[in-house]
Amino acid sequence: MDQQHEHHHGHPHGGAGHHRRGLRHRLEHLLTPHSHDAVDKVDPAMESSREGMRALWVSLLGLGATAALQVVIVMVSGSVALLGDTLHNFADALTALPLGVAFVLGRRAATRRYTYGFGRAEDLAGIVIVATIAASAVLAAYAAVDRLIHPARVSHLGWVAAAALIGCIGNEGVARYRISVGRRIGSAALVADGLHARTDGFTSLAVLAGAGGVALGWPVADPVVGLLITVAILFVLKDAAREVYRRLMDAVDPNLVGTAEGALRGTPGVLGVAALRMRWIGHRLHAETDILVPHTLTVVEAHAIAVEAEHRLLHAVPRLTAATIHTDPDSTEIHDLVAHHHR
């Protein structure tokens, strides 16, 4: 039994008007594929895109200001290490561009070619960000090894240390903001970008530690700490790559699956959940499920159970915007009925 239903959560749940519409509404969709699309969840999803864009703008301005302050100190001190950190911060600020493009694309309506919409653009942006983190690790390692081979004098250590602190604080602030917003709206790419900003904070700490070591008479302190920070960046790269990989492979939190199964099984008339599939499309969650219902039900009665199951599912699972629910007659009941008939 496969039915189609586009459900608006804004409707009242009582009254004569709802009763009159209900029968007509059911009869219109009895014989079409059953796909529940929560229209009122589109606005929150759009709002999450706006929140993501706002996070990108704040990050761009924050990192831009941080890099601008560092440029001034680079001009005063002539520190090549600080110049590298400054360029790194500018590059990090520019990673907002692919994410911004992804958020804008994600707002486009689905087409006959892209029937699920364009939310996957965020996953592509996540790949770009992971590649940028990898490039950061390579550049940091190269700079550290080059400094070991070709030692260079660092002057105005006080100013360099101050600029390093500015870079570290600025990047950590942006990182916390990006990661917080990314997890709240379900954007793996924005979380990865936040982790990237955190790596730049580590790079700034390398500059600070190196300046301290030079001040204490240990010239190789800067490149040695730079190599250690490269290792830290690789660990951050691993976490970011794992998160983006899981999203590309349609992985979801098993706790969300458990919550969804509980909501479905708790629906009156649902005898069991035969299958449940969930996937992220951008920062919106979609679900498809087969539920078992008594074989004695009419099509209208089975449809009503599916509607209630959809209600519970959408309200129970955060950021779930669409659910396709297929109702199947309970095979156990049918088997018992056939066996009894043969006896």
Name residue, tokens 């831009």.
64
Q: Which residue has the higher pLDDT, 12 or 102?
A: 102
The DSSP bridge partners found for residue 326 are 290
Residue 263: Cβ-neighbour burial (10 angstroms; 0-12, 13-18, 19+): buried
pLDDT tens sequence across 298-310: 999 999 999 999 9
The phi, psi pair for 76, rounded to 5°, reads -80, -45
pLDDT at residue 194, as a whole number: 85
The full set of domain ranges for the chain reads 16-33+252-342, 46-248
Q: Which CATH superfamily is domain 46-248 in?
A: Cation efflux protein transmembrane domain (1.20.1510.10)
**CB burial string 1-35: b at 16+ within 10 A, e below:** bebbbebeeeeeeeeeeeeeeeeebbeebbeeebb
Q: Mean pLDDT across the chain, nearest whole number?
A: 78
pLDDT tens sequence across 52-86: 788 888 888 888 888 888 888 878 776 767 777 77
CA 300, CA 23: separation in Å to the nearest integer? 9
CATH code at 16-33+252-342: 3.30.70.1350
CA 5, CA 22: separation in Å to the nearest integer? 12
pLDDT at residue 26, as a whole number: 41
Q: Which residue has the higher pLDDT, 45 or 55?
A: 55
